[in-house]
Amino acid sequence: MDVLSQVIDSMRSGRPRFARIAGHAPWAGRFRPVGGVAFHVLLRGACTLIPHAGDPVALSMGDVMLLPNGHGHELADSPGTEPEDVPLTRGEDFRLEPQTVPLGFSGRPVSAVVLSGMFPVDDNRCHPIVNDLPDLIRMPAQLGHEPPLRHVIDLLGAELDKPGIGTESAIGSLLDALLLFALRAWYGEHGALVGWGPALNDRAISHVLCRINNDPGRPWTVHDLGTEAGLSRSAFARRFTTLVGRPPLSYLTWVRMNAAAQTLRESDEPLETVARKIGYGSEYAFATAFKRHFGIAPGAYRRQNPATLKRSQRPSSNRQL
């Protein structure tokens, strides 16, 4: 699996949530901050995004906007329109199934349709790739520009216009693809100069990042990783630290901790098993490193996770009839 795919999988804390906004001019909506990556896809008409800081951004049909830090903002038919609170003020208010939220004067024709929502992200597991992104990313709908992204937008619009069997699952999968294609397109255009972009575009370092993420439990040494990169130990360490922003073994620890957190959320594997899988020789050593990284013991982390509670509430398959 490539680095970007691994990063998205590791930091996500739930399925994308979304709603369709129908604007009846004059209209404007105020979106509160969310715990994740907020997004808007303009499916019809035109509107303006007004960020919490900075100049308004005019949007045209087919444009995609990502707000990687989930900051509060407004959408409006015009910057001068008085906004109303969108009844989706927190991430959990966005649903997992299609819904339409009207804004403005509902008796008038719809002037804009926007697919809005958020990708839940655990801040404790947020990857530097995301931390390096600007507050706003706009992917304009240009003819022939980023065909995969354009295809996803067309499919989203069609699924929302004519929902059928499996629509909820289809939209969730399409939104996952939307995030991946949008980030890939942005890094392809801007990544050579910004943040993690040089690391992703450096073949040797990108290869090492993949190897670490694919096999975090391996007892990697800086020498081993340098060999993977085709560089001497010292040359590799300097290059990796410069491009990634932290030393190789520090990044390895980060990957291991996030892999452990994901396993704790999604499985009931014993802590000793989790420790061995991510490269620790004992449960004690793993628990110490985990608490140092997240500020909470792995057992407590697992117990406080909603997915763990749901698993504990499942009926036992061994009940006597």
How do 36-45 and 64-67 pair as beta strands?
Answer: antiparallel
User: What is the homologous superfamily of the domain 202-307 according to CATH?
Assistant: Homeodomain-like (1.10.10.60)
Question: How much is the pLDDT for 210?
Answer: 87
Backbone CA torsion sign across 211, 217, 218, 222: positive
Of 119, 67, 134, 129, residue with least CA distance to 258 = 129
Class of 3-190 in CATH = mainly beta
Would 3-190 and 202-307 be classified into the same CATH topology?
A: no
Per-residue pLDDT of 38-73, as tens digits, reads: 999 999 999 999 998 889 999 999 899 999 888 999
Question: How much is the pLDDT for 146?
Answer: 66
**Long-range contact pairs involving 257-261 (C-beta distance under 8 Å, separation at least 24):** 257/289, 257/290, 257/293, 257/294, 258/10, 258/11, 258/125, 259/10, 259/216, 260/286, 260/290, 260/298, 261/122, 261/124, 261/125, 261/290, 261/294, 261/301
Cα 229 to Cα 282: distance, rounded to the nearest angstrom: 30
Question: How much is the pLDDT for 315?
Answer: 44
Angle between helices 248-266 and 203-214 (to 10 degrees): 40
Cα 198 to Cα 142: distance, rounded to the nearest angstrom: 26
Tell me the average pLDDT across 99-103.
85
Give the three-state DSSP class for 35: coil
Model confidence band, residue 118 (pLDDT cutoffs 50, 70, 90): confident
SS3 content of the chain, % helix, strand, coil (to 5): 45, 20, 35
As a whole number, the mean pLDDT across the chain is 83
Give the three-state DSSP class for 215: coil
Per-residue pLDDT of 130-171, as tens digits, reads: 667 888 999 887 644 568 888 888 898 888 888 888 888 888
> Hey, which of 93-102, 220-229, 299-308, 309-318 has the most confident mean pLDDT?
220-229
CB neighbours of 218 closer than 8 A, spacing ≥ 6? 279
Which tokens belong to 223?
């020498």
Question: How much is the pLDDT for 309?
Answer: 44
Cα 148 to Cα 67: distance, rounded to the nearest angstrom: 20
Per-residue pLDDT of 76-92, as tens digits, reads: 999 989 999 886 645 45
Cα 181 to Cα 5: distance, rounded to the nearest angstrom: 10
Domain spans in the chain, listed from the N-terminal domain onward: 3-190, 202-307
Model confidence band, residue 264 (pLDDT cutoffs 50, 70, 90): very high
Per-residue pLDDT of 5-17, as tens digits, reads: 767 776 666 778 8
Cα 51 to Cα 92: distance, rounded to the nearest angstrom: 21
Which tokens belong to 269?
């594997």
Which tokens belong to 240?
């990796």
